[in-house]
């Protein structure tokens, strides 16, 4: 028999990035804006950012985590480009440069946001429920390194739910017929 879950507050971090130096997207900012409005209508306090560079992205994560209290329900939503390296998932900020020098593994570790880093920071706050939604490709990205791929499978802690916009090896579609939103949020 399922037990009822009791949470104190509803907190969300919602980020959408269109403005990449290379491979820009069209609908991620609209998706984030629309989800923010929908979450606020159902009582979430939403921290929201669009087209964030690496420093801004980290600052927003830190601000979000600093506001979390014990027993909060938390939701993290990201629409943009994602990659994985060595079974670790990374979210790409707007200033991610595909024309780097040296090892892509080293570059991504220093110039992208590790999803496991976000999960650990939230988990340390002992939230009641955590929902992570990634509207990113899970298909290998055609870059210099064939080992670099879209997001990989992730293990969710018992109090967490992780949702992806597409199956492993697939591409998240950036627009619908209305041209405003991606398939996942549209």
- The answer to whether position 175 is within a domain reads no
- The answer to whether position 3 is within a domain reads no
Biggest CA pair distance of the chain: 55
User: Which CATH number do you get for residue 99?
Assistant: 3.40.50.1460
- The answer to whether position 104 is within a domain reads yes
Size of the chain, expressed as the number of residues it contains: 186
Left, alpha or beta for 104 (phi > 0: left; psi -120 to 50: alpha)?
alpha
- The answer to whether position 35 is within a domain reads yes
Q: Phi/psi at 98 (nearest 5 deg)?
A: -75, -15
What domain range is 31 assigned to?
10-164
Of the candidates 92, 115, 116, the residue with the CA atom closest to the CA atom of residue 104: 92
- Tokens representing 76 are 């993290």
Please tell me the total count of domains within the chain.
1
- List, in order, residues 6 or more apart from 37 with CB less than 8 Å away: none
- The answer to whether position 19 is within a domain reads yes
- The answer to whether position 30 is within a domain reads yes
Confidence (pLDDT) at 140: 45
List per-residue pLDDT tens for the chain, 186 residues long: 455 566 789 999 999 999 998 888 888 999 999 999 999 999 999 999 999 999 999 999 999 999 999 889 999 999 999 887 777 888 999 999 877 777 877 888 899 999 999 999 998 988 778 899 998 864 444 544 444 455 555 666 667 787 877 655 555 556 666 677 776 666
Confidence (pLDDT) at 139: 45
- The answer to whether position 124 is within a domain reads yes
Residues 91/112, Cβ–Cβ less than 8 Å: yes
Residues 41/72, Cβ–Cβ less than 8 Å: no
- The answer to whether position 170 is within a domain reads no
């Amino acid at each position: 028999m399922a037990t009822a879950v009791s949470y104190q507050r509803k907190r969300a971090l919602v980020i959408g990035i269109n403005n990449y130096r290379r491979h820009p997207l069209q609908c991620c900012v609209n998706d984030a804006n629309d989800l923010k409005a929908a979450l606020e209508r159902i009582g979430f306090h939403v921290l929201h950012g669009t087209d964030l560079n690496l420093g801004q992205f980290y600052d927003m994560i830190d601000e979000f985590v600093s506001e979390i209290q014990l027993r909060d329900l938390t939701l993290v939503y990201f629409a943009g480009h994602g990659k994985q390296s060595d079974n670790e998932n990374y979210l790409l900020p707007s200033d991610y440069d595909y024309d780097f020098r040296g090892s892509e593994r080293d570059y991504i570790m220093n110039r992208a946001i590790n999803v496991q880093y976000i999960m650990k920071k939230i988990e340390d706050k002992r939230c009641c429920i955590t929902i992570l939604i990634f509207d990113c490709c899970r298909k290998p990205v055609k870059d210099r390194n064939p080992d670099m791929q879209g997001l990989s499978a992730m293990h969710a802690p018992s109090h967490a739910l992780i949702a992806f916009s597409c199956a492993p090896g697939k591409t998240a579609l950036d627009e619908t017929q209305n041209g405003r939103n991606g398939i996942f949020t549209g």
